[in-house]
Amino acid sequence: MELITKTPMLTVVGAGPGDPDLITLKAIKAIESADVILYDALINEELLKYASPNAETIFVGKRKGCYAFQQEQINELIVNRAKSHGHVVRLKGGDPFIFGRGAEEIDYAQQFDVETYMVPGISSSFAVPAYQGIPLTKRDASESFWVLTGTTQFHELSKDIVLAAQSTATVVILMGMGKLNEIVDIYKSLGKDDTSVAIIQNGTTKNEKVGYGKIKNILKVVEEKQLSSPAIIIIGDVVNKRVALTSMIHDHKIKSIAV
């Protein structure tokens, strides 16, 4: 009998910010066709229901202080499974090309003649604020926005935050809760104590928690609300321009559409 081998393939897929309905049709099709799915800690595991019953699913999530796999091990796993199984889907939270290391994993796989594809995801950087009615840009409030990482690969505060804080733009900081004290100090040093801040933990999910305040009191708000990672920090006048929305997250008034 002739042995049929599959073409080694990697598709890096953005799973969106947390609400399982915020995933694209193209992403679902990729999940359905996967032979192996390597998924992160921040993805909603409900999305795995789209996987074939024959697909192998492997948790490779990374959280602060807790690593199921190191990044080098994930890279090797992608290539090994692509060579042995065929189509590997790398399922990552938000959009994999926004602080998601998706490009690094594609670069690595291409060195080993693995076909590579990318399915963008809805980024938490704008989706999470939107679910709270916060527009990142609004007339008379903000003409632009910065999206920054709070913590660099060397575990330091991004120097770009100093530049962003000097602008009139909305500033969205991912992975910044561990550096919140330093971020507050930067804004205070610029005389921006009264700048509005929103912190949203587990955005777009049933476990969502939110705190609103200003630079001068946001640390107290975080303590009172017991906010922690994973959370997004939004700084700027647009926080005051948020619109009132009828909640669709918890009461499921929007029915899921079968795909």
Whether 62 sits among the annotated catalytic residues: the reply is yes
Whether 113 sits among the annotated catalytic residues: the reply is no
- Asked if the bond preceding 135 is cis, omega within 30° of 0, the reply is no
Find the catalytic residue in 29, 62, 83, 188. 62
C-alpha distances (whole Å) from 168 to each of 124, 127, 137, 177 are: 22, 21, 11, 22
Residue type at position 3: L
Find the catalytic residue in 9, 118, 175, 177. 175
Dihedral of the CA atoms 240, 233, 230, 207 (nearest 10)?
A: 0
Question: In terms of Cα–Cα distance, which of 245, 259, 207, 204 is closest to 228?
Answer: 207
Residue 39 in 3-state DSSP? strand
Name the strand (E) or helix (H) holding 90. Answer: strand 87-92
Whether 175 sits among the annotated catalytic residues: the reply is yes
Find the catalytic residue in 9, 19, 35, 40. 40
Sorted by sequence, the CB contacts under 8 Å of residue 118 that are 6+ apart come out as 11, 12, 96, 97, 102, 106
Q: Which residues are catalytic?
A: 40, 62, 175
